[in-house]
Amino acid sequence: MSRLVVVSNRVPMPAKDGSAAAGGLAVALQAALQERGGIWMGWSGESSGDREPGPLSQLQKGNITYALTDLTDTDVEEYYRGFANRVLWPICHYRLDLAEYGRKEMAGYFRVNRFFAHRLAPMIEPDDIIWVHDYHLIPLAAELRQMGLKNRIGFFLHIPWPPADILVTMPVHEEIMRGLSHYDVVGFQTDYDLQNFAGYLRREGIGDDLGNGLFDSHGRIFKAGAYPIGIETAGFAEFAERAANHIMVQKTRRSVEGRDMIIGVDRLDYSKGIIQRLEAFETFLTSNPAYQNKVTYLQVTPKSRSEVPEYEHMQKMVAEQAGRVNGAIGTVDWVPIRYVNRSISRNVLAGLYRLATIGLVTPLRDGMNLVAKEYVAAQDPDRPGVLVLSRFAGAARELKGALLVNPYDVEGTANAIAKGLAMSLEERRDRWSMMMEHLLTHDVSLWCENFLRDLVLAPELQPERDSLIVS
């Protein structure tokens, strides 16, 4: 069996006892690496300042070698904070107004990908399978091919892929698409993302859809497909059941006793629709005064990328809006919105999901959104809650039992909250069962297996090119 080499911007290091880092993705990838033996390489999160980064820091745990590299201050500013998070992230989330183009940042993005390739290449053996993750590292395969590597290389995008009209606003859109053509398998979260990808190739005249998921572009044949990422469903369900007895969850249960709880859990990001969600909750309370003092909304929003001005401004906006609603509608013994601006451990979150009558997951745009899947998996089968889900989250393509909403429609989302709270137990069970059955089958292990299976078969694609051209 070929070794597996995983490359991502950041690497979830295992705990000191050797157990996998929290999160379904880390669990699945570490299991695949442990089975095959291999390497997980990425940025350490540390800076070497003005000095050139030292040698790779390597840690061996079982069959897995964790290989970490520092980056210079310039690299972090241009590659990570610059092009990745201030160009690619907003473009892929349909926010042209927030994309800040700069030639220096673009050059830094490609330079750091070249740096990653030069650090990775000496560790690669001829039959290794390489799996690259997310938007930070799109050019990596092209750099490795330039160095002569002929290995099977796959790429998975965890965030949305935009339509051609949006993508072409990026000055280096051609280089980005050329970079993707150097992979053997390109994976997206949903069929909509795949359609956007194929639409760009067709519209720009730089590729052909050969059918059966095969594409011909820039002189290479590769597979592109939708591989919706899952969670470790069965394990998370057991985890949530145990977490219900956690002291923090029990304290929360007592504090909301006699009231329904609604929960939202998001990283602080403009793509998550938190402002619109708070407006929808306020609209729900003012339109349904009978629910005042009978429902509490808990919004958990850890800070993220606080060094980027847009995020710092948003943090202030969310806090002010929550405070305004609480001041206008709250009473001495009832705070409508509980806003927590820090991380909460995964076991506490699992218990809070199970406690909540409604899971409010309303991003303006999201590749998948695993919070939606975790909320469903965490529910008590006898008394499950209701998932209110944005139609613009990738999860909406799978979770047919959710109440789908347009997060830009504040009144529509408010009405969905009211519908969820009034929903009969029988309907809640029917909707939950449908979603849970899907999640148990389509878990993160199946996602990993499906992608790696197609990547293992990838060497058969290039020889097939000749017969396709002849015919």
CA distance 368 to 190: 8
The per-residue DSSP string of 50-112 comes to TSPP-SPEEEEETTEEEEEEEE-HHHIIIIIIIIIIIIIHHHHTT-GGG----HHHHHHHHHH
| Token pair 């280096």: residue | 172
Classify 134 as helix, strand or coil. coil
CA distance 40 to 58: 10
Structure-token pair, residue 9: 């911007």
Structure-token pair, residue 378: 């965490």
Q: Return the DSSP state at 19.
A: P
Structure-token pair, residue 204: 């720009």
CA angle 86, 119, 89 (to 5 degrees): 15
Classify 24 as helix, strand or coil. helix
Amino acid at 291: Y
Q: Secondary structure of 226-256 in the HEC alphabet?
A: ECCCCCCHHHHHHHHHHHCCCHHHHHHHHHC
Amino acid at 307: E
Structure-token pair, residue 135: 């938007």
Residue 125: half-sphere exposure toward Cβ, Cα within 13 Å: 10
Which candidate, 399, 416, 381, 151, places its Cα nearest to that of 283? 416
Q: Which residues, in sequence order, are bridge partners of residue 337?
A: 297
CA distance 330 to 338: 11
Which candidate, 357, 349, 360, 341, places its Cα nearest to that of 273? 360
Q: How many CB atoms lie within 10 A of CB 142?
A: 22
Longest distance between any two alpha carbons in the chain, whole Å: 78
Spell out the residues 6+ positions from residue 284 whose beta carbon is closer than 8 angstroms to its own.
291, 413, 414, 415, 417, 418
Structure-token pair, residue 32: 């695949």
Active-site residue numbers? 158, 366
